[in-house]
Amino acid sequence: MTTHNLLIELFVEELPPKVLEKLGLAFSDVLFEQLKAQGLTAADSAVTAYASPRRLAAHITEVSALAADKAVQQKLMPVNVGLDANGNATPALLKKLQALGAGPEAVAQLKRAPDGKAEALFYDSIVKGASLVDGLQKALSEAIAKLPIPKVMSYQLETDCELPGWSSVNFVRPAHSLVALHGSTVVPVKALGLTAGNSTQGHRFEARVSPVVLANADVYADTLARDGAVIASFTERRAEIARQLEAAAAKIGDGEDLKSHGALRPIEDAALLDEVTALVERPNVLVCEFEKQFLDVPQECLILTMKANQKYFPLLDAAGKLTHKFLVVSNITPDDASAVIGGNERVVRPRLADAKFFFDQDRKKTLASRVEGLAKVVYHNKLGTQGERTDRVRAIAKGIAALLPDAKNAAFVSAVDTTAQLAKTDLLTDMVGEFPELQGIMGGYYARHDGLGEEVAQAIEDHYKPRFAGDVLPRNTVGVVVALADKLETLVGMFGIGNLPTGDKDPFALRRHALGVVRMLSEANLDVGLDALIAQAIPAFGDKITEPAAALTSFIYDRLSGGLREQGYSAQEVEAVLALRPQRLSDVAKRLTAVRAFAALPESPALAAANKRIGNVLKKAGEVDAHVNAALFKEDAEQALYAAMQKLLPESEAQFNAGDYTASLQTLANLRSPVDAFFDDVMVNAEEMDLRLNRQGLLKSLHLAMNRVADLSCLAT
What residue ranges do the domains of the chain occupy? 3-67+131-227, 71-127, 234-362, 369-568, 589-715
Q: Residues 6 or more apart from 200 whose CB is under 8 A from it?
A: 9, 11, 55, 177, 179, 211, 212, 214, 224, 228
Lowest mean pLDDT among 229-233, 259-263, 440-444, 525-529: 259-263
> Does residue 162 register a pLDDT over 70?
no
> Does residue 259 register a pLDDT over 80?
no
Enter the CATH code of domain 369-568: 1.10.3210
Per-residue pLDDT at 100: 79
Mean pLDDT rounded to a whole number for the chain: 91
Per-residue pLDDT at 492: 96
C-alpha distances in Å from residue 453, one per residue of 72, 421, 444, 446, 457: 79, 15, 10, 11, 6
Per-residue pLDDT at 275: 97
Q: Are 685 and 628 in contact (CB under 8 A)?
A: no
| 14-16-17 Cα angle (round to 5) | 95
Per-residue pLDDT at 182: 97
> Does residue 564 register a pLDDT over 50?
yes
Closest CA to 273 of 16, 23, 18: 18
> Does residue 15 register a pLDDT over 90?
yes
Closest CA to 357 of 398, 405, 301, 303: 301
Per-residue pLDDT at 34: 95
Q: Residues 6 or more apart from 705 whose CB is under 8 A from it?
A: 645, 649, 652, 653, 668
> Does residue 442 register a pLDDT over 80?
yes
> Does residue 336 register a pLDDT over 80?
yes
Task: Say which residue, 617 or 531, is predicted with more confidence.
Answer: 531
**Backbone φ and ψ of 472, nearest 5°:** -75, 160
What proportion of the chain, given as a percentage, has pLDDT over 70?
97
Cα–Cα dist 65/133, whole Å = 8
Per-residue pLDDT at 253: 67
Q: What CATH class is the domain 3-67+131-227? A: alpha beta
> Given pLDDT bands bounded at 50, 70 and 90, which one contains residue 169?
confident
Closest CA to 514 of 536, 533, 498: 533
> Does residue 160 register a pLDDT over 60?
no
Per-residue pLDDT at 165: 54
> Does residue 265 register a pLDDT over 50?
yes
Give the pTM.
0.80
Per-residue pLDDT at 142: 95
| 298-304-307 Cα angle (round to 5) | 140
Per-residue pLDDT at 159: 57
Q: What CATH class is the domain 589-715? A: mainly alpha
Closest CA to 96 of 86, 85, 83: 83
**Counting Cβ atoms within 10 Å, is residue 108 exposed (0-12), middle (13-18) or buried (19+)?**
exposed
> Given pLDDT bands bounded at 50, 70 and 90, which one contains residue 473?
very high
C-alpha distances in Å from residue 292, one per residue of 76, 289, 346: 81, 9, 15
Task: Say which residue, 98 or 221, is predicted with more confidence.
Answer: 221
Cα–Cα dist 413/398, whole Å = 7
C-alpha of 627 from chain center: 51
C-alpha distances in Å from residue 410, one per residue of 77, 209, 401, 536, 702: 85, 77, 11, 20, 46
> Given pLDDT bands bounded at 50, 70 and 90, which one contains residue 163?
very low
Mean pLDDT to the nearest integer, 386-395: 97
Task: Say which residue, 97 or 447, is predicted with more confidence.
Answer: 447
Closest CA to 522 of 488, 563, 491, 490: 563
Mean pLDDT to the nearest integer, 57-66: 95
